[in-house]
Structure 1
Amino acid sequence: MRFSRLASLILASSVAVTALYAQDGPRIGTYGFDTKGMDTSVKPGADFDGYASGNWEMTTEIPADRASWGMFHVLQDQSLEQTHAILEEAAKRPGTKIGDYYTSYMDEATIAKKGIAPVKPWLTALANAKDKTALVVEAGKLQPKGVGGLFSMGVTQDSKAPDTYIVMAGQSGLSLPDRDFYLKDDAKLAAIRTAYQAYLAQLLTLAGEANAEARAAGVLAFEKSLATAHWSRVESRDADKTYNKWTFADFEAKAPGYPWAQWQSAMGVPKQAAYIVRQPSALTGEAQAFAAASLPVLKDYYMLRVLKGYASVLPKPFEQADFAFTGTVLSGVPQQQPRWKRGVSATSGALGEEVGKLYVARYFPPASKAEMDKLVVNVRAAMHDRLAGLTWMAPETKQKALAKLAAFTPKIGYPTKWRDYSSLAVSRDDLVGNVARSSEFEFRRGLAKLGKPIDRTEWFMTPMTINAYANPPMNEIVFPAAILQAPFFDAKADPAINYGGIGAVIGHELSHHFDDQGRKYDPTGKLAEWWTAEDVARFKTFTDKLVAQYNLYEPLPGQHVNGSLTLGENIADLAGLTVAYEAYQKSLNGKPAPVIDGMTGDQRFYLGWAQVWRSKEREQSLRQQLLTDPHSPGAQRVAMVRNLDPWYAAFGVKDGDALFLSPADRVRIW
Structure 2
Amino acid sequence: MKAQVLSVIALLIAGTTSSASSYAAEPAKAASPSVLLSGVDTKFQDKSVAPQDDFYRHVNGAWLKNAQIPSDRSSAGAFMDLREAVVPRLHTIIQGLSKGQNAQGSDAQKIADLFASFMDTKAIEAAGLKPLQADFAKIDAISDKNQLPATFAWLNRISVTAPFDVQVHQDNKDSTKYVLDIGQSGLALPDRDYYLKDDDAKLKATREKYLQHIEKMLSLAGNKDAAKKAAAILALETELAKVQWTKVELRDPIKAYNKIPLNELSKLGAGYDWNAYLKELGVSGKIDYVIVAQPSYITGMSKVLAETPLDTIKAYLKWHTFSSAASQLPKQFSDESFAFFSKTLRGVPSQEVRWKRGVRLVDSGMGESLGKLYVEKHFPADSKAKMEQLVNNLLLAYKQSVDTLDWMSDATKKEAQAKLATFMPKIGYPNKWKDYSELKIVKGDAVGNLRAIRQFAAQTELNKLGKPIDRDEWGMTPQTVNAYYNPEMNEIVFPAAILQAPFFNPKADDAVNYGGIGAVIGHEISHGFDDQGAQYDGLGNLRDWWTKEDHEKFAAKTAALVKQYNAFSPVSGYHVNGELTLGENIADNSGLAIAYKAYILSLGGKPAPVIGGLTGDQRFFMGFAQVWRGKLREQEAIIRIKTDPHSPGEFRANGTLRNMTPFYQSFGVKEANKMYLPPAERVTIW
Do they superpose with TM above 0.5? yes
- CA distance in 2 between counterparts of 1:270 and 1:79 reads 42
Q: Which runs of 4+ in 1 moved over 6 A?
A: 23-26
Contact 1:126 1:135 in 2 (8 A): no
The correspondence for 2:153, drawn from 116, 119, 140, is: 140
* 1:380-399 map, 5 Å: 380-399=395-414
Tell me the residue number matched to 1:266. Answer: 280
- CA distance in 2 between counterparts of 1:237 and 1:257 reads 30
Partner AA of 2:242 in structure 1 = T
Contact 1:145 1:435 in 2 (8 A): no
Q: Does 1:646 align with 2:662?
A: yes
Shift of 1:198: 0.7
Partner AA of 1:132 in structure 2 = K
Partner AA of 1:61 in structure 2 = Q
Shift of 1:508: 0.2
Q: Secondary structure at the match of 2:174?
A: coil
Partner AA of 2:643 in structure 1 = T
The correspondence for 1:35, drawn from 32, 37, 42, is: 42
Larger RCO (CA within 8 A; separation ≥ 6) = 2
Deviations 1:612-646 (A, max 9, x none): 11000100000111011000000000011000000
* 1:400-415 map, 5 Å: 400-415=415-430
The alpha-carbon distance between structure 1 residues 47 and 257, as it changes in their structure 2 partners (threshold 3 A), is: farther
- CA distance in 1 between counterparts of 2:293 and 2:124 reads 39
Shift of 1:25: 8.2
- CA distance in 2 between counterparts of 1:25 and 1:615 reads 32
Q: Does 1:122 align with 2:135?
A: yes
Shift of 1:250: 2.7
Tell me the residue number matched to 1:495. Answer: 510
Tell me the residue number matched to 1:282. Answer: 297
Tell me the residue number matched to 2:83. Answer: 76
Tell me the residue number matched to 1:190. Answer: 204
Partner AA of 2:660 in structure 1 = L
Tell me the residue number matched to 1:600. Answer: 615
Shift of 1:300: 0.7
Q: Does 1:617 align with 2:624?
A: no
The alpha-carbon distance between structure 1 residues 228 and 586, as it changes in their structure 2 partners (threshold 3 A), is: same
Contact 1:135 1:299 in 2 (8 A): no
Deviations 1:21-51 (A, max 9, x none): xx9889xx95212101011111112211111
- CA distance in 1 between counterparts of 2:567 and 2:591 reads 22
Q: Does 1:249 align with 2:263?
A: yes
The alpha-carbon distance between structure 1 residues 522 and 333, as it changes in their structure 2 partners (threshold 3 A), is: same
- CA distance in 1 between counterparts of 2:151 and 2:468 reads 32
Tell me the residue number matched to 2:17. Answer: none
- CA distance in 2 between counterparts of 1:119 and 1:143 reads 17
Contact 2:428 2:494 in 1 (8 A): yes
Q: Secondary structure at the match of 2:194?
A: helix
The alpha-carbon distance between structure 1 residues 201 and 264, as it changes in their structure 2 partners (threshold 3 A), is: farther
Tell me the residue number matched to 1:511. Answer: 526
The correspondence for 1:64, drawn from 54, 66, 71, is: 71
Shift of 1:138: 3.5
Q: Secondary structure at the match of 2:180?
A: strand
The alpha-carbon distance between structure 1 residues 139 and 530, as it changes in their structure 2 partners (threshold 3 A), is: closer
Deviations 1:449-485 (A, max 9, x none): 1111100000000011000000011010000000000
Q: Does 1:462 align with 2:477?
A: yes
Q: Does 1:213 align with 2:220?
A: no
- CA distance in 2 between counterparts of 1:257 and 1:180 reads 29
Q: Does 1:566 align with 2:581?
A: yes
Deviations 1:531-553 (A, max 9, x none): 11111111000000000000000
Shift of 1:156: 1.0
Q: Does 1:49 align with 2:56?
A: yes
Contact 2:39 2:509 in 1 (8 A): yes
Q: Percent identity?
A: 48
Q: Secondary structure at the match of 1:69?
A: strand
Unaligned runs of 5+ in 2: 1-29
Shift of 1:120: 1.1
Partner AA of 1:644 in structure 2 = M
Tell me the residue number matched to 2:673. Answer: 657
Tell me the residue number matched to 2:20. Answer: none
The correspondence for 1:166, drawn from 179, 204, 209, is: 179
Q: Does 1:666 align with 2:682?
A: yes
Contact 2:532 2:583 in 1 (8 A): yes
Shift of 1:258: 3.3
Contact 1:258 1:291 in 2 (8 A): no
Shift of 1:431: 1.6
Deviations 1:424-453 (A, max 9, x none): 111121121111111111212112111111
Q: What is the number of residues matched between the two proteins?
A: 646
- CA distance in 1 between counterparts of 2:509 and 2:446 reads 46
Shift of 1:665: 0.3
Contact 1:177 1:628 in 2 (8 A): yes
- CA distance in 2 between counterparts of 1:662 and 1:551 reads 18
- CA distance in 2 between counterparts of 1:594 and 1:232 reads 49
- CA distance in 2 between counterparts of 1:41 and 1:586 reads 34
Contact 1:67 1:331 in 2 (8 A): yes
Tell me the residue number matched to 1:523. Answer: 538
Which one is further off, 608-617 or 148-157?
A: 148-157
The correspondence for 1:579, drawn from 594, 597, 606, is: 594
The alpha-carbon distance between structure 1 residues 259 and 519, as it changes in their structure 2 partners (threshold 3 A), is: same
* 1:322-333 map, 5 Å: 322-333=337-348
Contact 1:126 1:299 in 2 (8 A): yes
Contact 2:177 2:469 in 1 (8 A): yes
Contact 2:75 2:633 in 1 (8 A): yes
- CA distance in 2 between counterparts of 1:493 and 1:124 reads 61
